[in-house]
Structure formats: C-alpha cells, structure tokens
Amino acid sequence: MAKRGVIVRRLPAVEGLGSCTLIASDKTGTLTCNELTVREICLPNGETFEVTGEGFTPTGEVCFQGQAAAKAASLDPIARASVLCNEGELRHRDQQWIWRGDPTDIALLAVAHKLGWHQATTLNSHPQINDIPFEPEHQFAATYHLVDEQVRVFVKGAPERVLQMCDRPSEDPSPWDLAQQMAEQGYRVLALAEGVAPANLTAAMVPPEPDDLTLLGFMGMIDPLRPGVKSAIAACHTAGIAVWMVTGDHPATALAIARDLGLAHTPKQVLTGQALEGQSSQAIQQIIQTTRVFARIAPHQKLQLVNAARAAGHFVAVTGDGVNDAPALKAANIGIAMGKTGTDVAREAAELVLSDDNFASIVAGIEEGRIAYANIRKVIYLLVSTGAAEIILLGLAILTGLPLPLLPVQLLWLNLVTNGIQDVALAFEPGQGDGLRRRPRSPREPIFNRLMIERTLLGAMVMGGVGFSTFAGLLNNGQDLATARNALLLLMVLFENVHIGNCRSETRSVFQISPFSSPILLAGTLTAFLIHMAMMYWPMGNVLLSIQPVPLPTWGLLIALSLTVLITLEIHKLSRALIFKRRKQQRG
C-alpha cells in the first residue's frame, strides 16, 4: 500500500477499507491540485479582465478585451489589497521564483506582480499595524495598514461574507450576481474590499470587525483537477462506494467542479453549511441520502455529517489536513490525513496518511485493502480445509479400527513444509482485477462466513474421505502399512497442490485464472512439490519420512484421485453461479 501512496498508521484500517461505503473528501488538494491561478478579475462595475499564465510564477499578463491592461489604474486598488491582505511570500532569488504560504495567497501575489505591485515595495510603503487571521468559521481575513498617515483595513474572503461588510448602494450589475456568474464557471471566487479603520488602532489592541467597506472586486481562480481523480470516482461508484465533496467553496463553484468529476449534476445535490445549521441528527440523515456536495462547510459541520453518515449505516472514510479536521477524522471509521499539506494533529488522528495527497490513492488503497482481506480469507480457507481433511482422515481410521494413516512426522511434513510454503505464497496473490467490481462487505460479516464454511466442509470431506478410502483400499488389497502410508502421503501432497487452485477465488473457476498471474504462488507450489519429490528419491529422506518412490501406475491413480477435490468445488461454484443468475433474473 505504501507503494501506491497510502501509509498505514493503524493496521486494522487495512481490513476496514474493504467495508468502506462512503468517502467524504476535501476538494482542495485532494480532488484538485491545490495550485491556484487567478484567471479572471471582475470589478464592481462589471468590467472583466482575463489573466494569462500558469502556476505560482508571475509570468503572463492581464488583458481587457484581448488587450494588455497591466497599467490600468482601475486595477490598482484590488492589486494593492491582494498584496497587503496576504500571509504568503513570493520572491525571486537565484534566477528562480520561491514561494511560501497558502496557495490562495501565492496566487494573489502572482497576479498583483503581473499588475506591477511587488510585495516587498508595497509592504515597505504600507506598514502593517494589526490583522485578523483567516478562520473557516469567519470566512474572511483582514489586515490593517498605515496608508498616507491614515489607518485603512484590507479584507479578503468569501463573497457573501465580504459583501455583508460593504456599503452597497443600488448598483447594476449587482455584485452578488457578478460573484455568482464567476462561481458558475467553476472559479473559486474571492472578494476583496477596503475601508477606513479607527485612527487609534495599535498592534496591542484587538481589532474591530471591519464594516462600511468599499468593494474592490472579485478574483476568479482555477484549481486544476488532479489527474486520475475522475476515473477514481467512477471506480468508487462501480465498487459501491459513495463519494462526497466537502468544501468551504461557494456552492456554484463546488457544483461546477462536481459536474466535471461526475460527482453531481443538479443543484439539488448540493447543500450549504447555512442550510445544514440547526438541523437535527435525524433530519441530516435524511438530507445526506440525496446530497453529494457540501459547500461552505465549517469544521464542526463536517463532524456532524460524519456522525450522521455512520448513524445511517455507512462505513465512512474521511479526509482532512488541518487541526480543525481532527474531530471528524477521529469520528470516522477510517480517518485519512494528508502527508504533504496535513498538520501533525491531523496525522495523529488518522489511521491512514496519503503521501501524495491524491484522492486516487484512496481508491488504490481500498483496492489493496480488499485484496489483502481476500488473501487472508484464502489462506484461512487453505489451512482450515486441509487441516479438517486430516482430522477426518484420522477420525475415520480410528472409528474403523485401522492403523494411523499417517505418522506424526508425516503430518508435520504436510503442515509445515507443503502447507507452510503454499500459504505464505498465497498471501502474496496480486488480485484478479475485480477488487473494485465487488460491493463493500458488511463490517459485521465474519471472515469465516457461510460460503467459506460450505467450501471448507466440502473440500475437507472430499480430501479426507478419498484419502481414507485410498488408504483402506490399499490395505484391503494386500499392501503393507508402510506402502499404504507412502501412497497416502503423496496423495495428500497432490491434494494440497490441486486444492491451492480452488483457494484462489471463491466464485471464479480455476480455469479462468492464469497460473502465471501469480508468479510467487506458482513458484511456491512447485517448490513445495519438488521438495517432496526430492525426499522421496533421497535415501536420507526415505528414512526421515518413512517414504519411498512410487511406481508410475500408482502415480497416475493418485493424480486422478487428487482431481476429485477440484471437480467437486468447480461443480459447487457453478451451481452457486446458476442459482445466483436465476435469482437475479427473477428479481429483474
């Protein structure tokens, strides 16, 4: 799993991945690349400017109706606010651009640089006095600066929150409509504003919440989707796993991105944190049945959603990267923290860590988790069925008064060498490509379920019954005890070599699975068999195991008998498939 970007902090999470029915994922950095670029600037009068360039480096230009507009005076206020209300750092050193801080801040610095507003120069001429850091609950950040001997406040944040602080005379177009139009194009929209602050404000004072501001405009940013995320979400749907997008973005922005991902298609599938506020647990359980996108969600609401999903019967995996995400990560069945951008608190609260912060790695982890769980079942089935066969063999001999069919050293040989090599090799099965085509298993389903009990009893009765009949038949035909035991031991070895094919899938025929698809298992099976052959023809092995070479006709008989367990379980698989198909047709 580590090779596929999933670091396991708590081992039971590997088993839990196979039961996952819902993934509640952050958008930024998990579904998207978290490499924001300003693509559009919209001023309050409706003028729209296009921004060229990619990434965080300030290359490109700002255009109005196709013409460069870098020196447009109307853009100076919003460019200045982008630099001043900013906690990031963007500078040029050693012939390359270096940045530090939140991607949103870096994107603002980059577009301001394109407009001629350099960070160092601007900060020197506008010294900062105080600030209000960004908090998800407040949805805005503010900084206070000395501008021309006057204290002014510069604000950035969610459009609906910043517009509440602005003095809004009757305008056409409406600022809210402008922000909505940008969000519907899939942009992450940020509003910027400025105003006058108390003249006596100092660094030691708690700054008042800004009000009576002047809106400067909106920044429309793009955050490209991570490669492979759309196909990963489709794979989740095929695997019976629902996916939620939980984001702090504008609902229109979230819906536009969800449409690109194939996650949601109509506004009815989007719910805002404001609509969620005050809802009862039962009401939330009803709401989440049809909702796929949760926008403008606060951290405490994320915890509410997780608890509601678990109460509704989901086995929930949740992603998170911040300190505020820790309660939701702890409340989920499986908490998944980000390895690159996640905080130490988030990683400590999580069971899994994504080393590449990529949603597709979660899906890869689910597939690996299902493969690991399936391999555990295969190994248990192999060991229990062959062990039960030996019990049946010995029990029948005791009940009929015959000598022990196998010596203790021969039983040890079967269990420690033949089975011992095969079960280790079986644990490394790579999977058969159907890991994400199966429905999630119930977390209450035991490993040893009804199907495994059926197959174990059937395989054990065939191997134990045929083995005993062979042993008794040889004795009745005048063979001595040593010869009968020798043939029986070889038969049991052959049974285990054939039965390993039955263990590879609970539903698929052994003839549908290439023996070369699992080189480790093929090598392990051949190695175990060749070791037994060597012991048969090595004089010291004859003495240690009380065995000897078997005549060619006996070889043919024993190989034919060993195929009975394969034929029996193939018939069992076929009959179950036919019954399942008939029931499906009746329901259809």
Q: How many CB atoms lie within 10 A of CB 397?
A: 18
What is the DSSP secondary-structure string of 276-321?
HTT--HHHHHHHTTT--EEES--HHHHHHHHHHHHHTT--EEEEE-
Nearest to 163 by CA among 187, 189, 191, 138: 191
pLDDT, residue 328, reads 96
**Residue ending a domain, choose from 326, 357, 388:** 357
What is the pLDDT averaged over residues 422-426?
Answer: 93
pLDDT surpassing 60 at residue 4: yes
What is the pLDDT averaged over residues 524-532?
Answer: 94
* Residue 285 belongs to a domain: yes
For 35-53, what is each residue's pLDDT tens digit?
Answer: 899 999 999 999 999 999 8
pLDDT surpassing 90 at residue 142: yes
Task: Name the residue range of residue 17's domain.
Answer: 2-31+226-357
For 211-252, what is each residue's pLDDT tens digit?
Answer: 999 999 999 999 999 999 999 999 999 999 999 999 999 999
Same domain (yes/no): 414, 542: yes
Same domain (yes/no): 414, 553: yes
pLDDT, residue 70, reads 60
Same domain (yes/no): 494, 579: yes
For 59-83, what is each residue's pLDDT tens digit?
Answer: 889 998 877 776 678 999 999 999 9
Same domain (yes/no): 212, 256: no
pLDDT surpassing 80 at residue 114: yes
Q: Which of 40-44, 320-324, 328-332 has the lowest mean pLDDT?
A: 320-324
What is the percent of the chain where pLDDT is above 70?
99
Q: Which residue has the tokens 């079960």?
A: 423
For 358-397, what is each residue's pLDDT tens digit?
Answer: 999 999 889 888 998 899 999 999 999 999 999 999 999 9
* Residue 362 belongs to a domain: no
Instruction: Give yes or no for a contact between 305 and 246, defined as CB atoms under 8 angstroms apart.
Output: yes
Summary count for the chain: helices (H), strands (E): 21, 19
Same domain (yes/no): 262, 279: yes
> Cα separations (Å) of 265 from 231, 259, 293, 465?
16, 5, 10, 59
Write the CB contacts of 258 (distance below 8 Å, at least 6 apart in sequence).
Answer: 245, 264, 265, 269, 270, 292, 293
Same domain (yes/no): 461, 449: yes
What is the pLDDT averaged over residues 256-267?
Answer: 94
Binned at pLDDT 50, 70 and 90, residue 491 comes out as: very high
pLDDT, residue 585, reads 83
Catalytic site residue 321? Answer: no
Q: What is the CATH number of the domain that holds 140?
A: 3.40.1110.10
Q: What is the CATH number of the domain that holds 531?
A: 1.20.1110.10
pLDDT, residue 588, reads 62
For 276-314, what is each residue's pLDDT tens digit?
Answer: 998 999 999 999 999 999 999 998 999 999 999 999 999
Q: Share the mean pLDDT of the chain.
A: 92
pTM of the full predicted structure?
0.82
Same domain (yes/no): 141, 256: no
* Residue 90 belongs to a domain: yes
pLDDT surpassing 80 at residue 327: yes
Q: What does the CA dihedral 531, 522, 370, 236 come to, rounded to 10 degrees?
A: 170
Strands 242-246 vs 22-26: parallel, antiparallel or unpaired: parallel
pLDDT, residue 35, reads 87
CA distance 70 to 76: 9
What is the pLDDT averaged over residues 146-161?
Answer: 95
pLDDT, residue 27, reads 92
Same domain (yes/no): 45, 106: yes
Q: How many domains does the chain have?
A: 3
pLDDT, residue 64, reads 87
Assigned token pair, 234: 């489709």
pLDDT surpassing 70 at residue 172: no
Same domain (yes/no): 159, 258: no
Q: Which of 26, 105, 131, 321 is catalytic?
A: 26
pLDDT, residue 341, reads 84
Q: Name the most confidently modeled range: 125-139, 462-476, 572-586.
A: 462-476
* Residue 366 belongs to a domain: no
Instruction: Give yes or no for a contact between 464 and 391, defined as CB atoms under 8 angstroms apart.
Output: yes
Alpha-helical segments (H) within 437-551 = 450-476, 481-503, 519-537, 539-545
**Residue ending a domain, choose from 327, 357, 387:** 357
What is the DSSP secondary-structure string of 164-181?
HHB---S-SS-HHHHHHH
Q: Helix axis angle, 359-400 relative to 450-476, nearest 10°?
A: 30
What is the pLDDT averaged over residues 6-19?
Answer: 89
pLDDT, residue 473, reads 96
Binned at pLDDT 50, 70 and 90, residue 171 comes out as: low
Q: Which residue has the tokens 């002047």?
A: 214
**Residue ending a domain, choose from 193, 222, 251:** 222
pLDDT surpassing 90 at residue 108: yes
* Residue 363 belongs to a domain: no
Same domain (yes/no): 54, 195: yes
Same domain (yes/no): 333, 452: no
pLDDT, residue 522, reads 95
Q: Helix axis angle, 481-503 relative to 419-426, nearest 10°?
A: 0
Q: What is the CATH number of the domain that holds 289?
A: 3.40.50.1000
pLDDT, residue 100, reads 92
Same domain (yes/no): 534, 426: yes
What is the pLDDT averaged over residues 571-585?
Answer: 90
* Residue 99 belongs to a domain: yes
pLDDT surpassing 60 at residue 170: no
Binned at pLDDT 50, 70 and 90, residue 462 comes out as: very high
* Residue 45 belongs to a domain: yes
* Residue 539 belongs to a domain: yes
Binned at pLDDT 50, 70 and 90, residue 441 comes out as: confident
Q: How many CB atoms lie within 10 A of CB 443?
A: 13
